[in-house]
Amino acid sequence: MSVVTKVATVQPRRAVLEMPEYHPPLAGRDALRLDFNENTLAPSPLVLDRLKQITAEGLTKYPERAPAEGKVAAHLGLDPAQVLLTNGVDEAIHLICCAFLEADDEALIATPSFFMYDVSIAMMTSGLVKVQADETLQFPFERFLAAINERTKLIIVASPNNPTGATASRAELLAIANAAPHAVLLVDEAYFHFHGETVLGDLATTPNLIVARTFSKAYGLANLRIGMLATSPELITYLRKVSSPYNVNGVALDCLIAAIDDDAYIAWYVEQIRIGRERMMGGLDELGVHYFPSAANFVLMKIGPLHKELVTAMRGRGVLLRDRSADPGCDGYVRITIGVADHVTRGLEALKASLEEIGWKPIYGFSLTESKAGQEL
């Protein structure tokens, strides 16, 4: 095998040179996965049945989105012309940036939040404006609203937000949309099922609103990479122009249809997570661990200087956590995913033993009173 010895003179765009790499620690995950907010159990049994029916001939064909988009639209009470399926929410964000951002535009996000917002926005403009949450990590609505100006062309709000679990209310989101009629407002509802509040019903009266959803979390299809955008037919037309016609593979589309057919399973799984979330937060209270009340399928904990030691100790007990200390305003914070009852029990037992092993003591002088009062689940 030949080895390249010459140094390339080709340089990427400045935005790429300046951009930090985003490579989540996905290797060596043969353990209880409480690190990436995935479904920790399984998708609907109907999905596995559908996988068994896939034929060799079916794999030779290019995928067709329309049947699955029609199924999703009917499930959500929308017209098929209002729905675009995407290769995960990652691609959905990218398509919006491609369709609506010029090089001299501004895009507005709150931090900490999902890092792929930064990546996709940076590909189109250097005008990324971030509004940092305060120590309660609640959505900074007033300061966010004040940051909107005539150059703002894209606004992204995740509700519930990752990694904090905080939400923006429907009233706040609509106020933002009305304050910036010249900008697209993307509301990322990846964790909608665990919260229950949506602005999907406001699409007809809010022409600059786009809603993103994923089938990776409650539906358990993370490996198949499938998400969606819902908005007006006009905006969907623009998004289709910048989308590949074959962006979602046929196996994913078939499995999505099967998953949507099993409402009972999704409702059962979501209820298990909501119950588990209350158990997890109660267990953290007993351990003296400060946390941010969450409306999602995870809880963000304030561990302090021993955050790395905790993640290592938990891995040694077969439980994976996600260190979020690199996120703005999250130094010393660790996130734990909520699973079904047995997974919550195992997580709390491992957490108790690991905290004792590393010599962790409760952090005094840190109050979450405002955070708990401001977050309604």
Tell me: the pLDDT tens digits for 33-68? 999 999 999 999 999 999 999 999 999 999 999 999
CB atoms closer than 10 angstroms to residue 134: 11
- pLDDT score at 80: 98
> What whole-number distance in Å separates Cα of residue 275 and Cα of residue 242?
41
pLDDT tens, residue by residue, 131-156: 999 999 999 999 999 999 999 999 99
**Mean per-residue pLDDT for 326-342?**
97
Which domains does the chain possess? 14-39+264-358 (3.90.1150.10), 53-262 (3.40.640.10)
- pLDDT score at 64: 96
Report yes or no: 155 and 183 within 8 Å, Cβ to Cβ: yes
Residues 6+ apart with CB under 8 A from 314: 320, 321, 350, 351, 354
pLDDT at 327 over 50: yes
Task: Report the DSSP pairing between strands 32-33 and 298-302.
Answer: unpaired
Report yes or no: 375 and 293 within 8 Å, Cβ to Cβ: yes
- pLDDT score at 9: 82
Closest by CA position to 176, among listed 139, 204, 222, 212: 139
- pLDDT score at 374: 38
Which H/E stretch holds residue 177? helix 170-179
pTM above 0.85, yes or no: yes
